[in-house]
Structure 1
Amino acid sequence: MTHDESADVPGLVAASELPGVPDEFQRLWTPHRMAYIQAGADAMREACPFCSAPGKSDEDGLIVHRGRSAYVLLNLFPYNSGHLLVCPYRHVATYDQATPEEVGEIAALTQRGMQVLRGVSRCDGFNIGMNQGRVAGAGVDEHLHQHIVPRWDTDANFFPIIAKTKALPSLPGQVRQAVADAWRE
């Protein structure tokens, strides 16, 4: 982005106008991860984040839609911007423990999430999936949740492979608001 282009974006300041000495390092600002760092991984096991999220405001819980038996929220630790999770309100660990109503609503919310993300982010595809149990890779293995990860033809780069880093161009609050607004349309 050039200096002239940055003038058109509210709140964006050209790097040349900021104090400091430029160097060859790139900085990835990820302030949303501080909650995880400060609480530690044990806090996730002590209190289920998917049981507590519905008791918070939509903004604080990163919730984009509330259904009857399931809801949709942004992943606080996303693989890509717009990474959504579809969760039943009820605390069940695996898909086979979900009721037919929960299964149906999880499926319908997944479809709607894909439609909304396609409109909001113009993604080229999706990874959809559930990790059942810690051995299968579930970060929160005691509460069922389905991932909807938007993908773009250009989203693969060396960061995740070499540096174990994912560059996310939008902050969670901005993404949550855009998805929640589009969901209601």
Structure 2
Amino acid sequence: MDRKMYAPWREEYILGPKEKGCLFCRIFREEKDRQNYVLYRGEKVFVVMNRYPYVSGHLMVVPNRHIAHIEKLPRATSEELMYETQRAVKILKQILQPHSLNIGINLGHQSGAGVPGHLHQHIVPRWHGDTNFLSVIGNTRVVSVSLTNVYRQLVKPFQEIEL
């Protein structure tokens, strides 16, 4: 018997209408931080929760400018991107207490970038057992905490905690 697990947030991404223009540029322009799950806005980058996370607490650090190629990032943007990545790691470790983390950038569509035209760095908290049979065999991930609840946990620390 085949069993199915329903993950409605993935259906919206897979079947929903594709956004015209750049998702990250729209989020940067809009001042709807709570609706868009923006945790922090800096001079050169912003930190946003992934609306379609691999696991709870999946964050992205995104340049404010539309840049696809890492080698074209201005130095000040590169420095702020790394600083905010470090700060996000510190906050995630303190608030969500993952066992480990993955950090990475997918450059180009073939590498897995969902928004290949706008560079962004993923920060993915990891817990023991989060790569169990469901993700390996069933191609399904269980995200046990809602985006809104994780946002509420993280938004204040992003305004208060420095390195």
Match runs of 1:83-94 below 5 Å:
83-94=58-69
Which of structures 1 and 2 has the larger relative contact order (alpha carbons within 8 angstroms, sep 6+)?
2
Alignment CA distance shift 1:33-1:156 (3 Å): closer
Equivalence for 1:32: 9
1:47 aligns with 2:24: no
Q: Tell me if structure 2 keeps the 8 A contact 1:127–1:151.
A: yes
Question: Percent identity among equivalent residues?
Answer: 34
* Aligned pairs for 1:63-78 within 5 A: 63-78=38-53
Structure 1 segments (4+ residues) deviating >6 Å? none
Question: Scaled by the length of structure 1, what TM-score is found?
Answer: 0.78
**CA offset digits 1:12-49 (Å, max 9, x no partner):** xxxxxxxxxxxxx6754x44345424533xx24x2211
Larger Rg: 1
Give the whole-Å Cα distance in 2 for the aligned partners of 1:33 and 1:136: 20
CA contact (8 A) 1:64 1:177 kept: no
Equivalences, count? 157
Runs of 5+ unmatched residues, structure 2: none
Amino acid at match of 2:54: Y
| Root-mean-square deviation (Å) | 1.7
Q: Do residues 79 (structure 1) and 40 (structure 2) align? A: no
3-state DSSP of counterpart to 1:182: helix
Structure 1 unmatched ranges of 5 or more: 1-24
1:17-166 → structure 2 map (5 Å cutoff):
27-28=5-6, 30-33=7-10, 35-37=12-14, 39-40=16-17, 43-44=18-19, 46-54=20-28, 55-166=30-141
Q: Secondary structure at the match of 2:88?
A: helix
In the aligned structure 1, how far is the partner of 2:113 from the partner of 2:83? 22
